[in-house]
Amino acid sequence: MTQDTELHRTKASVVAVGLVVALVVTACGDAKEPVEEWEAVWNSTASAVAEASTTDPDLGECQDLLGYLRMQRAVLAPVPLDDLEEPIDSWFTEAEGIFFECDLRGDAAQSSLVTLEALEGEVAVVLEVEQ
C-alpha cells in the first residue's frame, strides 16, 4: 500500500468517525457537554489537523479536510466554557482557511499554522485553569 493510499484511508476514517460523533451530539441537542468529553473531541480534531498539515494534500484531500473541519465545528458547539468561545472560533476560521486555499507550503499557510498552535495553547490554558 502506498503512503498516499494509506493517508487517504486515514483521512477517510477520521471523517467517518467525526460524522458519527456529529450525529450523536446532534441527537443530544444543544446541551453543553461535560468538559472532559468535549476536550477529547477537541484534542482529536486538533491532532487530525496537525497531522494533515505535515503532508502536501491534493485538492480532494483538502476538500475532505475542510468538510471534516466544518462538521467538527458543529460537533464542538456549544463550547463547555465561555472562555473557549473566541479561541475555538478563531482556530476553526484559521484551519478552514488553510484547507480552503490548499497550499500548505505557502507563507500564508505557514503563518496560519503558527496561529493555530498559539490558539491551541490558549485552549489548553483555559481547560487547565477550569479543571
Say how many C-beta atoms besides its own lie within 10 A of residue 11's C-beta: 20
Inter-CA distances, 50 with 21, 28, 85, 113, 117, Å: 20, 28, 21, 8, 9
Element (H, E) at 55: none
Domain range summary for the chain, segments of one domain joined by +: 3-130
37-70 residue pLDDT tens: 999 999 999 999 999 999 889 999 999 999 999 9
- 25 — pLDDT class (breaks 50, 70, 90): very low
Q: Are 51 and 99 in contact (CB under 8 A)?
A: no
| pLDDT recorded at residue 130 | 84
Note the pTM of the prediction, 2 decimals: 0.75
